[in-house]
A and B are shown apart, each in its own frame.
Chain A
Amino acid sequence: MRAIGIILAGGNNNRMRELSNKRAIAAMPVAGSYRAIDFALSNMANSHIQKVAVLTQYNARSLNEHLSSSKWWDLGRKQGGLYVFTPTITKENSLWYQGTADAIYQNLTFLKNSHEPYVVIASGDGIYKLDYNKVLEYHIAKRADITVVCTTCRDQNEVERFGVLRMNEDCRIEEFEEKPMVSSYNTVSTGIYVIRRRQLIELIERAAQEGRHDFVNDILIRYKNLKRIYGYKIDTYWSNISTADAYYRTNMAFLEPEIRNYFFKQEPGIKTRIADVPPAKYNPGADVKNSLVSSGCIINGTVENSVLFRNVFVGNNCVIKNSVILNDVYLGDNTHIENCIVESRDTIRANSYYCGEDGVKIVVEKNERYVL
């Protein structure tokens, strides 16, 4: 293979609200059966990238547990493998990762010891399918120094979350603004980059010498007039889950047949850690409409327009509407949940009432988990 992979999964974001108390964004459960990082990891594996490093920092326990075996993504290889790099104290350095570029700098040995000519850098919070080989071919054809995968942001209010860019007719990036408050452009970076390995080492070392730590500001934007930085535009589904609202919307998107078909039925598929739970069970009283239900669920009540993750128990006379219920939640009898995200491994006591009035509500009761 011509490339190695780096997945940046260290991030946290207070716009995830309570959801990021427990885990890094890359470990967020998505679409019933997956975690966010499965998408980048599966894309790597499906693009025949055999050597992947995941850089973690913020609350990585869930993520480490998820990545405890690399066999699910077929990355348990002698030629390559899956590496998880958390910050460590060394002779030269005793700081946390101070930014994306610094995270790569602190693991520069991994890059130096590899022999593959290219590096694919992706973030762990994107929900998409992409054959990185196509980006790599484009990168080579354009004789680019860095290729940035970008997409059109459909909601102009959302551009402030992203790097916004403008390309010339040759697709070379001429303007790049990181998270502007307002912008007249709507082409945004997806945080996926292709770059020659030696070029990356050189840029990262230079940035480190100058005490610069951020990949976007200190490399992409700083070098955009000096280096050949190109945009590769995708028009397939791409979503970033790093706010609670975006997270909710992304999960709900899987209720649409086109998106379900694209991710679930079309090859290549997304892989994840196998959970060994029995099929979902519908008892008398179950009334399920337009919903995704994962294995291990037991349903005794009403579920509408919702996404149920694994091992959710829905008690008698419950009503669940327009909600995302994360894995291992026990919902006591007569509970009403509407426009909510219910945090995982929780027990919601019988007769509870939760309704997100304006916008989605995050439910965390922190009761001891009730085990069947």
Chain B
Amino acid sequence: MIKKEMIAMLLAGGQGSRLGVLTEKVAKPAVAFGGKYRIIDFPLSNCINSGIDTVGVLTQYQPLRLNTHIGIGIPWDLDRNEGGVTVLPPYEKSTSSEWYTGTANAIYQNLAYMEQYNPDYVLILSGDHIYKMDYEVMLDFHKANKADVTIACMPVPMEEASRFGIMVTDESSRITEFEEKPEHPSSNLASMGIYIFSWPVLKEALIALKDQNGCDFGKHVLPYCKEKGQRLFAYEYNGYWKDVGTLGSYWEANMELIDIIPEFNLYEEFWRIYTKGDVIPPQYVSSEAVVDRCLIGEETEIYGEVHNSVIGPNVTIGKGTVIRDSIIMRNSEIGENVVMDKSIVAEDVVIGNHVVLGCGDEAPNVLKPAVYAFGLAVVGENSVIPDNVRIGKNTAISGVTTRDDYPGGELAGGQVIPAKDGGRE
């Protein structure tokens, strides 16, 4: 019989609606990051680097890019005869069919997948965090404490603690209490959404809670386990960990990679991050170009100026263009004499000549003030921006736009051009 000590279940079905137009057509774990990677590369690489060779990836929202990216798992050495990576979408059952209604519900619907590997432990991960972590060390902690559930936690500043799920522990790290986004937190240990369950405990809890609507780990499974008197432990993690759930934190996490010795260092030979390497040629920097404080991907050609930015693979940046504090994802073409400040440009975008992006004063966004904030101008994938237009801050553009979409040649700060036709083919 096949036997795996620990298998991982990676939750990758969420939309990540706070990333706005960036996740209009792709699931959040498939969003590009760091000039080469996609967010899901980090948990997947952590798995293989921790010796976990069996990973179920639960998908639901817009899975095409994710499926193509994962394939049979070759980049992460997860193409295995036994185990490896398996994409697990929701499926129709003989008696019923439902979507994944919550994180724990998604895992429950795949009990049969886990069962076939006969695991001792199951690691639950989410596909939207940037970090390097050795799950094997966490498993050792789990075993040493004879725990039923171990929750990875990290200390956060006390004043921010009310944004997180907070764990209150005793001196042996055993969890005595949870507080979900508490107003007056009694601890600063925030849950990172990474759990190790002993398999019988997980299975029993999922079956007991199978009729729970929108069954969720934080809201239902963990409280259930605690009430039953099971041993829940907090595993404190002190390395770099970033939730890139908002445009602001996504932009910040990218910019942090540019530091001379970044806190999150991709250049260390130990603990490599793997990704699908489909772009091979070197990048070209022309005689007129100026490039400083940047990360730049393969096959990109630079004829203009780029400062303090993260540029993905196969991007073209035209002559006379100046780009500052921006993120540009793969296959985008930026015209000549463009000025771009603090912008995020998604994949396969075409920006015309003499465009000014991210100019003027900050105005709150008219549609989603909480999403399109931080002074960023955001362009969704497959968008087209015509020549000679000016685009303000806190703006979002999606789809093929023409001169007519810009009254007076301008998109004022806080305005949105939503997708009309599904974008450029």
Question: A281 near B295 (CB under 8 angstroms)?
Answer: yes
Question: B282 near A276 (CB under 8 angstroms)?
Answer: no
| Complex Cα–Cα for A279 and B298 (A) | 7
CB nearest neighbor in A for B311: A279
Interface residues in A283-326 (C-beta closer than 8 Å to B): 283-296, 298, 307-309
| Complex Cα–Cα for A264 and B316 (A) | 13
Is A270's beta carbon under 8 Å from chain B? yes
Asked if A290 meets B286 with Cβ closer than 8 Å, knowing A33-B298, A264-B299, A279-B36, the reply is yes
Question: A291 near B284 (CB under 8 angstroms)?
Answer: yes
B412 to chain A, nearest CB (A): 34
Number of interface residues of B (CB under 8 A): 37
Is B74's beta carbon under 8 Å from chain A? yes
Is A354's beta carbon under 8 Å from chain B? no
Is B280's beta carbon under 8 Å from chain A? yes
A73 to chain B, nearest CB (A): 12
A1 to chain B, nearest CB (A): 24
Is A181's beta carbon under 8 Å from chain B? no
Asked if A281 meets B294 with Cβ closer than 8 Å, knowing A271-B280, A276-B272, A276-B277, the reply is yes
Q: Please encode chain A, from 62 to 78, with 1 for each CB lying within 8 Å of some chain B CB and 0 for all others.
A: 00000000010000000
User: What chain A residues lie within 8 Å of B290 (beta carbons)?
Assistant: 287
Question: B293 near A282 (CB under 8 angstroms)?
Answer: yes
Q: Name the residue in B34, B75, B284, B290 with the highest tally of chain A Cβ atoms < 10 Å from its Cβ.
A: B284
Is A89's beta carbon under 8 Å from chain B? no
Is B92's beta carbon under 8 Å from chain A? no
Q: Please encode chain B, from 256 to 292, with 1 for each CB lying within 8 Å of some chain A CB and 0 for all others.
A: 0010100000111100111101001111111101111
Is A165's beta carbon under 8 Å from chain B? no
Q: Name the residue in A282, A291, A293 with the highest tally of chain B Cβ atoms < 10 Å from its Cβ.
A: A282
| Complex Cα–Cα for A278 and B289 (A) | 22
Q: Please encode chain A, from 256 to 292, with 1 for each CB lying within 8 Å of some chain B CB and 0 for all others.
A: 0000100110000111101110111111111111111
The residue that B298 contacts in the complex, of A34, A285, A295, with Cβ under 8 A, is: A295
Is B35's beta carbon under 8 Å from chain A? yes
User: What chain B residues lie within 8 Å of A307 (beta carbons)?
Assistant: 282
| Complex Cα–Cα for A371 and B295 (A) | 20
A70 to chain B, nearest CB (A): 12
Is B13's beta carbon under 8 Å from chain A? no
CB nearest neighbor in A for B310: A279
| Complex Cα–Cα for A257 and B273 (A) | 32
Is A372's beta carbon under 8 Å from chain B? yes
Asked if A292 meets B269 with Cβ closer than 8 Å, knowing A286-B291, A286-B292, the reply is no
The residue that A298 contacts in the complex, of B267, B282, B298, with Cβ under 8 A, is: B267
Is B296's beta carbon under 8 Å from chain A? yes
Interface residues in B47-86 (C-beta closer than 8 Å to A): 74-75
A195 to chain B, nearest CB (A): 32
User: What chain B residues lie within 8 Å of A295 (beta carbons)?
Assistant: 36, 282, 297-298
Is A332's beta carbon under 8 Å from chain B? no
User: What chain A residues lie within 8 Å of B258 (beta carbons)?
Assistant: 281
B278 to chain A, nearest CB (A): 9
Is A32's beta carbon under 8 Å from chain B? yes
User: What chain B residues lie within 8 Å of A293 (beta carbons)?
Assistant: 282-285, 296
Name the prevailing secondary structure of the B interface residues: loop
| Complex Cα–Cα for A276 and B278 (A) | 11
User: What chain A residues lie within 8 Å of B266 (beta carbons)?
Assistant: 278
The residue that B267 contacts in the complex, of A281, A285, A289, A292, with Cβ under 8 A, is: A281
| Complex Cα–Cα for A291 and B282 (A) | 10
Is A7's beta carbon under 8 Å from chain B? no
A342 to chain B, nearest CB (A): 16
B36 to chain A, nearest CB (A): 5
Is A31's beta carbon under 8 Å from chain B? yes
Question: A278 near B267 (CB under 8 angstroms)?
Answer: yes
CB nearest neighbor in B for A264: B281
| Complex Cα–Cα for A175 and B135 (A) | 69
Question: A290 near B274 (CB under 8 angstroms)?
Answer: no
Question: B274 near A276 (CB under 8 angstroms)?
Answer: yes
User: What chain A residues lie within 8 Å of B274 (beta carbons)?
Assistant: 276
Interface residues in A31-45 (C-beta closer than 8 Å to B): 31-34
B161 to chain A, nearest CB (A): 33
User: What chain A residues lie within 8 Å of B297 (beta carbons)?
Assistant: 279-280, 295
Question: B285 near A288 (CB under 8 angstroms)?
Answer: yes
| Complex Cα–Cα for A285 and B29 (A) | 34
Asked if A275 meets B289 with Cβ closer than 8 Å, knowing A264-B299, A281-B295, A295-B298, the reply is no
Interface residues in B210-240 (C-beta closer than 8 Å to A): none
Asked if A280 meets B277 with Cβ closer than 8 Å, knowing A290-B285, A290-B286, A293-B283, the reply is no
User: What chain A residues lie within 8 Å of B260 (beta carbons)?
Assistant: 283-284
| Complex Cα–Cα for A285 and B215 (A) | 53
User: What chain B residues lie within 8 Å of A33 (beta carbons)?
Assistant: 280-282, 298
User: What chain A residues lie within 8 Å of B285 (beta carbons)?
Assistant: 288-291, 293
User: What chain A residues lie within 8 Å of B296 (beta carbons)?
Assistant: 279-282, 293
The residue that A288 contacts in the complex, of B275, B291, B298, B299, with Cβ under 8 A, is: B291
Q: Please encode chain B, from 34 to 47, with 1 for each CB lying within 8 Å of some chain A CB and 0 for all others.
A: 11100000000000
The residue that A279 contacts in the complex, of B34, B75, B268, with Cβ under 8 A, is: B34
User: What chain A residues lie within 8 Å of B287 (beta carbons)?
Assistant: 289-290
| Complex Cα–Cα for A32 and B290 (A) | 20
CB nearest neighbor in B for A372: B267
CB nearest neighbor in A for B297: A279
Q: Please encode chain A, from 13 to 34, with 1 for each CB lying within 8 Å of some chain B CB and 0 for all others.
A: 0000000000000000001111
User: What chain A residues lie within 8 Å of B286 (beta carbons)?
Assistant: 289-290
The residue that B282 contacts in the complex, of A32, A71, A269, A287, with Cβ under 8 A, is: A32
User: What chain B residues lie within 8 Å of A296 (beta carbons)?
Assistant: 267
User: What chain B residues lie within 8 Å of A309 (beta carbons)?
Assistant: 282
CB nearest neighbor in A for B258: A281
A-B pairs with lowest CB-CB distance, top 3 = A32-B282, A279-B35, A274-B277
17 A-B residue pairings within 8 Å (CB atoms) = A274-B75, A276-B274, A278-B34, A278-B266, A279-B36, A279-B313, A280-B296, A281-B294, A282-B294, A283-B260, A286-B292, A289-B287, A293-B284, A293-B285, A298-B267, A309-B282, A372-B268
Residues on A facing B (Cβ under 8 Å): 31-34, 71, 255, 260, 263-264, 269-272, 274-276, 278-296, 298, 307-309, 371-372
Residues on B facing A (Cβ under 8 Å): 34-36, 74-75, 258, 260, 266-269, 272-275, 277, 280-287, 289-299, 310, 313
In the complex, besides A31-B281, A276-B75, A290-B286, 14 extra interface pairs with C-beta distance below 8 angstroms are A255-B284, A276-B277, A278-B35, A279-B296, A279-B298, A279-B310, A280-B295, A282-B294, A289-B286, A291-B285, A293-B282, A295-B282, A296-B267, A309-B282
